[in-house]
Amino acid sequence: MSLIEIRDLTKVYQMGEVEVHALNGVSLDIDQGEWVAIMGPSGSGKSTMMHIIGCLDIPTSGSYILDGVDVSQMVESQLAAVRNHKIGFVFQAYNLLARTSAIKQVMLPMQYSRDGSRVPRAERRERAEEALEVVGMADRINHRPSELSGGERQRVAIARALVTNPSILMADEPTGNLDSKSGIEVMEVFHRLHEGRGITVVMVTHDEAISADAERVIRLFDGRIERVDRNGLRSEVESQKSKVGIPAQLMSDVGVVTPDKGSERC
């Protein structure tokens, strides 16, 4: 059984009289621990597919079995529970709170555990510090986003996604706003998480060089899978280089608080 099993997925947006067919029958399996890149021209359905895989939205038709559970017709509260438990998100624009320090941003998803009880503050802080250490940001924990570079902001965002111990890390153009050096640093963090901990990575990118890091590249066109490329395995030397373990404390089970939609982001 694959971690993600998608069959004949469609997504139709109703825009007044007009139907927009964003996905037109997509079938795909993604295994636990795989790294998959999703590519395709603008409007081909990449973000729509990410939103459905990430349980931010449901399909119009078709089935989506995530870790053995049919999530394709869940209501929002059920989807939120699945997201909180299994999925971490990294966005192109970081989506950090403007006036909040790195450490507080990363503590935020642990505000409440899934059963509503609070994780003690000292434990939240400790785990947030560890997550920031994993992304190489241990010496910047009191910085606000305006006091960080783009690459550093994105690494804080990855720490925030990571602190709840998701099995899937979903990233929509995570290096899209970064210069090439910062982009490489951010990709190194993804490699550490993927190879060190076996986290499943699903990443949308327009960049062929970035997609070369994935094991498989799914190419969408007009809401359909046009082609699937399987990349060669990375060399042993390269994969050894980025083999770094993740602290055990990050493995416990907490909920995610997504930043308040009305809050100022940066």
Residues that bind Mg ion (CB under 5 A): 47
Cα distance between residue 251 and residue 49, in whole Å: 27
Q: Is 46 in the site for ligand ATP (CB under 6 A)?
A: yes
Q: Which does 105 bind (CB under 5 to 8 A by kind): ligand ATP, Mg ion, none?
A: none
Which CB atom, from 60 or from 258, has the smaller least distance to ligand ATP?
60
Q: Would you state the structure tokens that stand for residue 220, as one six-digit string? A: 């969408």
Which CB atom, from 41 or from 120, has the smaller least distance to ligand ATP?
41
Q: Is 200 in the site for ligand ATP (CB under 6 A)?
A: no
**Span of 46-54, 105-113, 162-170, 187-195 interacting with ligand ATP by CB under 6 A:** 46-54
Work out how close the CB of 85 gets to ligand ATP at its nearest, in angstroms, rounded to a whole number: 25
Which CB atom, from 13 or from 98, has the smaller least distance to ligand ATP?
13
Q: Is 20 in the site for ligand ATP (CB under 6 A)?
A: yes
C-beta separation of 206 from 177 below 8 A? no
Work out whether strand 61-66 and strand 35-39 pair parallel, antiparallel, or are unpaired: unpaired
Which of 40, 109, 174, 255 binds ligand ATP (CB under 6 A)? It is 40
C-beta separation of 22 from 15 below 8 A? no
Q: Would you state the structure tokens that stand for residue 97, as one six-digit string? A: 């709170």
Which CB atom, from 16 or from 245, has the smaller least distance to ligand ATP?
16
The amino acid sitting at 45 is G
**Closest by CA position to 64, among listed 43, 49, 46, 80:** 49
Q: Is 84 in the site for ligand ATP (CB under 6 A)?
A: no
**Closest by CA position to 207, among listed 243, 180, 245, 242:** 180
By CB neighbour count within 10 A (0-12 exposed, 13-18 middle, 19+ buried), where does 237 fall? Answer: exposed
Work out how close the CB of 99 gets to ligand ATP at its nearest, in angstroms, rounded to a whole number: 28
Sequence-separated (6 or more) residues with CB below 8 Å from residue 195: 239, 242, 243
Which CB atom, from 45 or from 151, has the smaller least distance to ligand ATP?
45
Q: Is 43 in the site for ligand ATP (CB under 6 A)?
A: yes
Q: Which does 176 bind (CB under 5 to 8 A by kind): Mg ion, ligand ATP, none?
A: none
